[in-house]
Structure 1
Amino acid sequence: MKSFAVLLILFLLLIHEAVPKKQLKRQRSRYKKILRIVGGRLVHKNDDYLSAVSIIYRPHLKKDLIKLACGATIIHKYWSLTASHCLKPIPNRLIMSKHIFLRGNTTYWDGSSKHYQDHFIADYSLHEDYLGPQNQFDNDIALLKVKEPFTGVYEKPVCIASRSYTYIENTSAVVFGWGFTDPHKQDSNSKALKAADIRITNFSTCLKIHESINKMVSARMVCAWGHKTDSCTGDSGGPMIQNDTLIGIVSWGMECASDHWPGIYTRISEFPEWILRKIKSLSKTT
């Protein structure tokens, strides 16, 4: 199963204090390691999609080594959205430390560009009803508040889908990420941001496909196919954009770029009230 949680598990391996080894072993056994945007194209600075940022972790503060954890999307100069599964395994003290930060103003997560800007996390909120694999990654959404505002030339917020947004079958959308580019090679993350063209799948069809293997697809999810192109782990938490609007968050799926299994994304139109409520509550505390 394509779970998109594997890079965070790697993070827990490197920062060994985060999770006991026995617990970590149980987590790892649930998932296949299939991780990347497949068959996508490189994104350039003059593109309209400048809301994508990377979530980076630094295992050792005194060393230069950094790792890509997930993607996120700027929705305001202090706020971004990602997937709950990107943060759920990590203790609060590590999320709000110098070990983890968001990198924007660049299409390169690894620091290849001199123009990147890093943003540490001031506060965050996972969805209260997110239970991970226990309920098939339902409510897979999280809100991040950064200490340093997104003010770079190449850091632009995107509008979020409202309750009334209509997800039309077979219409095109674009998903962005820095995930693995080869399903058979570990550590093949793209250094540069890539985009994949996908199409929204009929929800009933997606539901039936997954019911056949006892996997739940809820009304808070949207399914999408790509022709030999798709998102996978490493792209987790990143944006699904349509009509200059954030309509989905990379969440989970059975396989990548498969003719049999669509990718599953968090349906943003189900969460505008939750997002606004959390922004209001976190604004009072930080």
Structure 2
Amino acid sequence: MFLQIVTIFALLAIANGAVTPLGLEPNLPQDGRIVGGVATSIADHPWQVSLQRNGAHFCGGSIISNNIIVSAAHCLISPSTASNLRIRAGSNNRNYGGVLIQVAAIKVHEGYNTASKVNDIGVVRLQSMLTFGSTIRAIAMASVTPSHGVAASISGWGKTTYGGSSSSTLLYVDTKIVGRTQCGSSTYGYGSSIMTTMICAAAADKDACQGDSGGPLVSGGQLVGIVSWGKECALANFPGVFANVAELRNWVLQAQNTV
């Protein structure tokens, strides 16, 4: 009954123009796995990290230097603070392995809007440096928005279904970019909710979901998106929506020097 009530409120929010972040469903577990995903090795996604609050995974992130992680703004606002956040890097499993490092500071995009999810990006500075190797490595940020239809992949520990089961193992899905113009057209259900700092991706029965927020959308070996929001998960008429890294890259480059 409680899940039904939460779902009803989420649908009402979408109908009234609000958007629902993928990693922060209220009062639902924040762990799990990607919808339609398959198990993968961290060596194939060495930039992927688990962002953990008070010891529990709740969002993803991507390594862009040996002490800077990029994630979604909605993962880094209250109740998240530097003191209650750590990242796990270099492990397929969000619960053990690899390295666990305390966060030193966080910075959220000044133009982030909690209602529209515009500018849904932020950076995390770590207390100690990561040691790069086969399972821990930085990813380059895209400087050009990928074209509509280009292949991309999503990785993370998010749910297999909306409000569904959980897994501790890193999964990924192959998907395709849906350009901002196309994603905001009548072909899909979002309309004017899709803004310049957003990009979409879709594939049949495949998507990011709760617990994947902040994680990477990768195309051509570059970070092109940050898992941001969507209507439930893997609905046919509603692609996953991501912060557009190419549009927000300059902000990240500046922020990593001041966080």
> Fold conserved (TM > 0.5)?
yes
Q: Which residue matches 1:138? A: 118
CA 75–259 in structure 1, closer or farther in 2 if over 3 Å, else same: same
1:107 aligns with 2:89: no
Q: Which residue matches 1:54? A: 50
8 Å Cα contact 1:36/1:183 also seen in 2: no
The CA deviation at 1:248 is 0.3
- CA distance in 1 between counterparts of 2:192 and 2:166 reads 28
CA 152–218 in structure 1, closer or farther in 2 if over 3 Å, else same: same
Q: Deviations over 1:218-262 (max 9, x none)?
A: 011001111211001200000001111000000001131121111
- 1:182 aligned to 124, 138, 161, which one? 161
* SS of residue matched to 1:144: strand
The CA deviation at 1:214 is 6.2
Q: Deviations over 1:14-65 (max 9, x none)?
A: xxxxxxxxxxxxxxxxxxx997510111111442x2100001122xxxxxxx
The CA deviation at 1:280 is 2.0
Q: TM (normalized to structure 2)?
A: 0.85
- CA distance in 1 between counterparts of 2:146 and 2:198 reads 11
Q: Deviations over 1:162-219 (max 9, x none)?
A: 1xx141111110011101123353xx33201111111011322311249966651101
Q: Which residue matches 1:248? A: 225
* SS of residue matched to 1:274: helix
Q: Which residue matches 2:185? A: 208
1:76 aligns with 2:68: no
CA 213–80 in structure 1, closer or farther in 2 if over 3 Å, else same: closer
8 Å Cα contact 1:35/1:183 also seen in 2: no
- CA distance in 2 between counterparts of 1:212 and 1:123 reads 37
8 Å Cα contact 1:4/1:235 also seen in 2: yes
8 Å Cα contact 2:183/2:190 also seen in 1: no
* SS of residue matched to 1:270: helix
Q: Which residue matches 1:155? A: 136
- CA distance in 2 between counterparts of 1:242 and 1:211 reads 22
Q: How do 1:84-123 residues align onto structure 2 when only pairs under 5 Å count?
A: 84-90=73-79, 95-97=81-83, 99-111=84-96, 113=97, 116-123=98-105
8 Å Cα contact 1:201/1:224 also seen in 2: yes
- CA distance in 2 between counterparts of 1:130 and 1:216 reads 14
Q: Which residue matches 2:5? A: none
Letter in 1 for 2:222: T
CA 274–67 in structure 1, closer or farther in 2 if over 3 Å, else same: same
- CA distance in 1 between counterparts of 2:188 and 2:150 reads 24
- CA distance in 1 between counterparts of 2:179 and 2:128 reads 40
Letter in 2 for 1:4: L
8 Å Cα contact 1:110/1:191 also seen in 2: yes
Q: Which has the larger radius of gyration?
A: 1
- CA distance in 1 between counterparts of 2:253 and 2:23 reads 26
Q: Which residue matches 1:20? A: none
CA 214–35 in structure 1, closer or farther in 2 if over 3 Å, else same: farther
Runs of 4+ in 1 over 3 A off after TM superposition: 33-36, 209-215
1:6 aligns with 2:3: no
Q: TM (normalized to structure 1)?
A: 0.77
8 Å Cα contact 1:45/1:106 also seen in 2: yes
- CA distance in 2 between counterparts of 1:75 and 1:34 reads 23
The CA deviation at 1:69 is 1.0
Q: How do 1:203-282 residues align onto structure 2 when only pairs under 5 Å count?
A: 203-209=180-186, 216-282=193-259
CA 211–177 in structure 1, closer or farther in 2 if over 3 Å, else same: closer
Query: Which stretch shows the higher mean deviation, 76-85 or 36-45?
Result: 36-45
* SS of residue matched to 1:182: coil
- CA distance in 2 between counterparts of 1:212 and 1:232 reads 18
Unaligned runs of 5+ in 2: 1-9, 11-19
8 Å Cα contact 2:161/2:233 also seen in 1: no
- Indicate the RMSD between aligned Cα atoms, in angstroms: 2.4
